[in-house]
Amino acid sequence: MQGFILLLFCLVILNIIAANTVRDSISTGQSINDGQNQIMVSSGETFALGFFSPGISKNRYAGIWYNKDPNQTVVWVANRENPLNDTSGVLKLNESGVLVILNHNKSVIWSSNSTGSAQNPVARLLDSGNFIVQDGSNNYDTKHVLWQSFDYPVDTILPGQKFGRNLITGLNRYMSSWKSSDDPSQGIYNYQIDIVGYPQFVLREGAAKIFRFGSWNGFQFSGAPKVKQNSVYRISFVSNEEELYYAYELIDKSALHRLVLKSDGQVQRIYWNKEENRWSGLSRFPTDDCDYYGKCGASASCNINNNFLCNCLDGFVPKTEDTYGDCIRRTSLSCNGDGFLKFSWLKLPDTYRSWFNRNMSLDDCMVLCLKNCSCTAYAALDVSKEPAGCLLWFNDLIDIKVFTEVVEDIYIRMAATEVEAVEGKQSHKSNTQKHHSHTIILSCVLSIGVLIMSLTCIIYRWRMTLQKGKLTGNPQRDANSINENEREDLELPLFELSIIISATNNFSTDNKLGEGGFGSVFKGILDDGREIAVKRFSQNSRQGLQEFKNEVIHIAKLQHRNLVRLLGYCIQARERLLVYEFMPNKSLDFFIFDANRGQLLDWTRRLHIVNGIARGLLYLHEDSRHRIVHRDLKAGNVLLDREMNPKISDFGLARSFGGTEIEVNTDHVAGTYGYLPPEYIINGSYSTKSDVFSFGVLILEIVSGKRNSGFCHEDNLLSLAWRLFIEGKCSEIVDAAIRDSLDLSAVLRSIHVGLLCVQLSPDDRPSMSSVVLMLSSESTLPQPKLPGLLTNRNMVGDTSSSSSYKPSSNNDITIGLMSAR
């Protein structure tokens, strides 16, 4: 009996050991069980496969990682979009040769969807990092697989793995980033080969191109000339009728190397540094500012070594004064009399709308381009063979960068006179250089004299500047500077200027939505189809850097359905740009102050707008991270989305209140006359009750369809509303456009609340929480006191004076963000 128990015990121990013993393959009936910490290890022990939790996440995923890497660097994930929340996961191979992952309910949460079938299917983890399913009766012939993980990359490409497309089956092997280091689900970046036009590798953020690796020319990629055959790896690029892909093989087979798309959008080549026992970077893309797609406009090249990155190509001139704008031909094309200029050491333009032929000579390519008046340039397709093939462009030449390692030329179409002028200029330059060699000695002598005089002047001016600096304080920083700590605090995307220029058609007047003291607002469309509104601060804007930063910092941290959403900002090339969600229905004043458009806003919609503005202000005053006073609430700063929902905008004058602070004084009164409370104009005191006053004015304007006329002898809207309230005739102030649709009791209640908000004393005005409650309930309202009726006499402080105060012909000091005026 004791012998039987001992035997049984040994069998149990052997089963446990077998259950956890690593192996490189499983067949039907076998599995990898997360609860038992089972893993597979490739035959050379390079890679392991099992379940893991990334970073600080508690979710469980099935994946492949480097077996001996203590950091468990993951190279492939199976169920990236459908994680397990416990350790019940089981990876198994069914009888049809399909890999499945089961949860605790034995439900399939992921499968390999193999298209073939096998008699004796086997799943094997290879030392290349490829996880394959094959027919076990074929003696494990890896050339015939039913399914392989290499066909479904995540964020990593390994040596020997194809990166590209099968043109017959449509299989697209592309990289997509993790959302974060703790979440392997698909992020916002993808890197793949684009087959529209001549194939090229493109890195995208969503649908927007951010970096173009370029096309293969037989030796290298036009956008990354350093990626070519070297002592570390061998490159292969296959392009035929069936397949289109890139792959690389390591010369040292024992080395560890991977190409990875990081969650921040960087494409990196990484290798295992044996000496330092860690991963090290070989290269990364994008590398510099000129790598970002369309950094310069059409027919312009980007040179990272120049002070001014963008310059028009020879024969082209700037279309506008914009540094990053398009360039146009100095001389228009005539079609029949055109020629070509050769340009070297350049990244070839975007081939999205190109045409190519693999068997044509370069001479025939030129003839073909000349015959087509729409052809703008041509180049050789593959410079490693003859014939070199033909590549033609039919659109603007976009995304050109200066390189010193590119072994390829492009021939750009030019008017014949322009070709002669440029070639003559180049010839003249050569002759001039010879002439200069005879005058170097004389020039040097003269230069020394001039240098001495120049140094004397420079030292004198430096001393004068230093003395002036001591009197006036520190020199002013660059008008566009925002330091790193401020950028990190923003937690907001920084847009490339080229993206905004493309979206707004280079700030075209056709895209202009409005204009104000700060500058102009333009409509734009991003590459992914999103509509945006771009607030462009002019160089002479009354709102300087502080107001720009103030608006970004405040609104970046605000999240409410009744506040306009800031998508990002840009501070490049002396530009200050804010990118907002686009509001198709413009601003509130566009409707309520126009007799015809006012009819589009019936009473129900106006009451909805009043309530929405109230909720937005309540959020600013009480529910946001900091108590925020807007200081410029007006009809022009309330935007309307497609459903006519109100969005408060323009936070350039907003201020935060900290701690127990309830009121602040300022010597600089800013805002819009007609909406400012008396205590702010007279004493410079502002608080949340200042916004309440502006909101009261806004209610009366929405109900009446009339502007508060401000500081003149005539009755303003507040005095008119007060007089009619006292006389019991409030209905007379209602806009004629809504009298047929109104709920009289609701209208009278809104007017009453408006008058409570504009009372002279800030202490008498209700808080926004009380206002929201009063608008939404039927409770009895307190009797309002005299409103803040400021006349010219209040302004000058002389009750005997009869002179009137008129701020300007344009009553707005600040103009609404995205409203079209």
Looking at residue 522, its pLDDT comes to 92
Residues above pLDDT 90, as percent of the chain: 38
Q: Which of 14-28, 147-161, 796-810 has the lowest mean pLDDT?
A: 796-810
Q: Which two three-digit tokens encode residue 396?
A: 């603007």
Report which of residues 594 and 549 the model is more confident about: 594
Q: Which of 107-111, 389-393, 417-421, 698-702 has the lowest mean pLDDT?
A: 417-421
Q: Which of 562, 581, 600 is the last residue of a domain?
A: 581
Average pLDDT over the chain, rounded to an integer? 81
Q: Has residue 4 been placed in a domain?
A: no
- 628 with 645, same domain? yes
Asked whether residue 508 falls in the same domain as residue 393, the answer is no
Amino acid 18: pLDDT:
44
Say if residue 607 is in the same domain as residue 656: yes
Residue positions in the annotated binding site? 535
> For 276, which DSSP code?
T
Instruction: Give the pLDDT of residue 815.
Output: 26
Containing structural domain, residue 148: 18-152
Residue type, 300: A
**644 pLDDT exceeds 50?**
yes
The two tokens of residue 232 are 């570390």
Question: Do 580 and 552 touch, CB atoms closer than 8 A?
Answer: no
Residue 118 placed within a domain: yes
357 and 268 within one domain: no
Do 317 and 403 share a domain, yes or no?
Answer: yes
Calculated CA dihedral for residues 797, 799, 800, 804, nearest 10 degrees: 70
> What backbone torsions phi and psi does residue 752 show, to the nearest 5 degrees?
-60, -45
549 & 625 share domain: no
Residue 179 in domain: no
Percent of the chain with pLDDT over 70: 79
Q: Which carries the bigger pLDDT value, residue 138 or residue 638?
A: 638
Specify the pLDDT at position 693.
96
Residue 540 belongs to some domain of the structure: yes
Q: Are residues 70 and 204 in the same domain?
A: no
Whether 749 is in a domain gets the answer: yes
Q: Which residues of 234-269 are buried (b: 16+ CB within 10 A; e: fewer)?
A: ebebebeeeebbbbbebeeeeebbbbbbbbebbbeb
Inform me whether the pLDDT recorded for 159 exceeds 80.
yes
Indicate whether 136 and 25 sit together in one domain: yes
Dump pLDDT digits (tens) for 61-73.
Answer: 999 999 988 888 9
Contact 463, 528 (CB under 8 A): no
Q: Who wins on pLDDT, 341 or 480?
A: 341
Contact 120, 27 (CB under 8 A): yes
Which residue type sits at 534? V
What pLDDT was estimated at residue 583? 93
Helices (H), 24-170: none
End residue of a domain, out of 532, 564, 581: 581
Q: Does 199 share its domain with 299?
A: no
Residue 451: inside a domain, yes or no?
no
Question: Active site residue: 399, 589, 632, 650, which one?
Answer: 632
Sort 595 into a burial class: Cβ within 10 Å, 0-12 / 13-18 / 19+. Answer: exposed
Residue 231 lies in a domain: yes
pLDDT at 701: 96
Q: Note the pLDDT tens digit of each residue in 416-450.
A: 888 887 766 555 444 444 444 444 445 555 666 56
Instruction: Say which range, 540-544, 633-637, 722-726, has the weakest mean pLDDT.
Output: 540-544
Query: Which tens digit of pLDDT belongs to each residue from 315-329?
Result: 999 888 776 788 999
Q: How confident is the model at residue 670 (pLDDT cuts 50, 70, 90)?
A: confident
Q: Is the per-residue pLDDT at 661 higher than 80?
A: no
Cα 203 from Cα 530, distance rounded (Å): 19
Q: What's the structural domain count of the chain?
A: 5
- Kindly state whether residues 98 and 42 are assigned to the same domain: yes
CA atoms of 751 and 721, how far apart (whole Å): 8
For 363-373, what is each residue's pLDDT tens digit? 999 999 998 88
Whole-number pLDDT of residue 358: 87
- Binding positions for ATP: 535
Are residue 726 and residue 611 in the same domain, yes or no?
yes
Tell whether the model's pLDDT for residue 335 goes beyond 50: yes
Single-letter code of the amino acid located at 397? L
Task: Tell me how far apart the alpha carbons of residues 291 and 302 are, in angstroms, rounded to a whole number.
Answer: 9
Least confident of 85-89, 143-147, 455-459: 455-459
- Return the SS3 of 576: strand
Interatomic CA distance for residues 389 and 359, integer angstroms: 5
For residue 756, CA distances in Å to 312, 673, 760, 775 come to: 62, 20, 9, 12
pLDDT for the residue 669: 74
Q: What distances in angstroms separate CA 170 from CA 151, 167, 341, 561, one per listed residue? A: 12, 5, 39, 42
CATH number at residue 503: 3.30.200.20
Question: Is residue 396 located within the same domain as residue 338?
Answer: yes
Known active-site residue 632: yes
CA distance 808 to 755: 27
Judge if the upstream peptide bond of residue 782 is cis by omega within 30 degrees of 0.
Answer: no
784 located within any domain: yes
According to the model, what pLDDT value does residue 227 have? 74
Residue 627: CATH number of its domain:
1.10.510.10
Q: What is the pLDDT of residue 236?
A: 86
